[in-house]
Amino acid sequence: MTFEFATAGRILFGNDKIRELTGIASTFGNRALFVTGSAPERIQPLLDDARQGGIEAEAVQTRGEPTIEAVKTGVDRAKDFKADFIIGVGGGSPIDAAKAIAALATNPGAPLDYLEVIGRGQPLTARPLPCIAVPTTAGTGAEVTKNAVLASPEHKVKVSLRHPLMLPDIAIVDPELTHSMPPAVTAATGMDALTQLIEPFTCCRANPMTDGFCREGIRRVARALKTAHQDGSNAEARQDMALASLLGGLSLANAGLGAVHGFAGPIGGMFNAPHGAVCAALLPHAMSANVAALTDRATNSLELGRYREIAGILLGDPGARIEDGIAWVADLCADLAIPSLSAFDIQESDIPAIVEETVRASSMKANPIQLTTAELTDILQRAL
């Protein structure tokens, strides 16, 4: 048994933890570049607090999922401002952008020098600027991952900038910041969190540390996601989902993912489709395909037993069958009004191109079993 485990330098979790941001930030210097998402007005109180605390603060906005060009613009802003550190506030997109900006602000060359798949994949040579991650959604776990997912419209794909030095120095997870998420966002990000707990638990790189995180996270999603979707002000459900998201981030960063995320990268690059909604639409079908392939080609595998354990956690019944667990996930998607992939203009004719890109995706390397082209095609057809 061999494995590695690495995470953010420090994790603060709990209601009102955001109040500690300025005090913590001041230890990194006195010039902060905030990176935010589609609602920049939401960080104004944080900017005001920073300035009152003696920190010079500016903000840069990312619209939607960060592109390579948007990150380059952010890097230029960080250099012009002479930022001492970067603070990412929002969902996975601004946090990923913040991590990428922090890394590229201190490392020479272009983003393509460091990007996977479409770039040269070179390792970072210099330590990034200090980075603080403050999630306001509960799904991506980006506050504790060592990569930034960037879109390349030119290549019609999303790829990662990845290095252990990109782990944020500080992650502040305050569940109260997620209370304002609308139901649709709660559903999509919540299903992303569930996916990022199921895939690391069943992947071929699972390890004893991440196993514990996954079991606890799946249990919390099972009891909290529908409640958070129906009543966004339910503090207990929001806390459960914030913790589940954090546990998913810890797990995927130290174990791996699988077919759902293998598909999500190419689909996100080719279509205007939100990552969480894509994962949700694919999850029950990818689970079914993996179980069928394991049953056919690896009957006694550890991973097959993991799917049985997941069913028991989701249903609160240790005797639950694998099929019951998959049906529970499918029913949850229906309850949350998760759209099918066809809602994002994905058609049958697009499937071969998606499958071709998916086979090359880094997430596929950790899938519990190698899926055939026919099996990957079937997953997409069922998710349309």
CA distance 37 to 49: 19
Q: How confident is the model at residue 63 (pLDDT cuts 50, 70, 90)?
A: confident
Phi, psi of 62 (to 5 degrees): -110, 130
Could you tell me if 143 and 173 are in contact, meaning their C-beta atoms sit under 8 angstroms apart?
Answer: yes
pLDDT at 262: 96
Residues 6+ apart with CB under 8 A from 31: 55, 56, 57, 81, 82, 83, 84, 85
Query: Is pLDDT above 90 for 159?
Result: no
Quick one: average pLDDT of 17-22? 97
CA distance 206 to 241: 22
Phi, psi of 172 (to 5 degrees): -110, 110
**Residue found by looking up tokens 């995470």 in the block:** 7
Query: Is pLDDT above 90 for 157?
Result: no
What does the pLDDT look like over 341-372, one tens digit per residue?
999 999 999 999 999 999 988 899 999 999 99
What does the pLDDT look like over 268-293, one tens digit per residue?
999 999 999 999 999 999 999 999 99
Could you tell me if 101 and 33 are in contact, meaning their C-beta atoms sit under 8 angstroms apart?
Answer: yes
pTM of the complete model: 0.96
Query: Is pLDDT above 90 for 155?
Result: no
- Pairing, β 85-90 against β 131-135: parallel
CA distance 113 to 161: 10
C-alpha distances in Å from residue 252, one per residue of 34, 141, 146, 211: 26, 9, 10, 11
| Beta partners for residue 34, in sequence order | 59, 87
How high does pLDDT run on average in the chain?
Answer: 96
CA distance 14 to 346: 39
**Residue found by looking up tokens 């991650």 in the block:** 133
Q: How confident is the model at residue 40 (pLDDT cuts 50, 70, 90)?
A: confident
What does the pLDDT look like over 75-95, one tens digit per residue?
999 999 999 999 999 999 999
Quick one: average pLDDT of 238-245? 98
Relative orientation angle of helices 183-202 and 275-297, to the nearest 10 degrees: 30
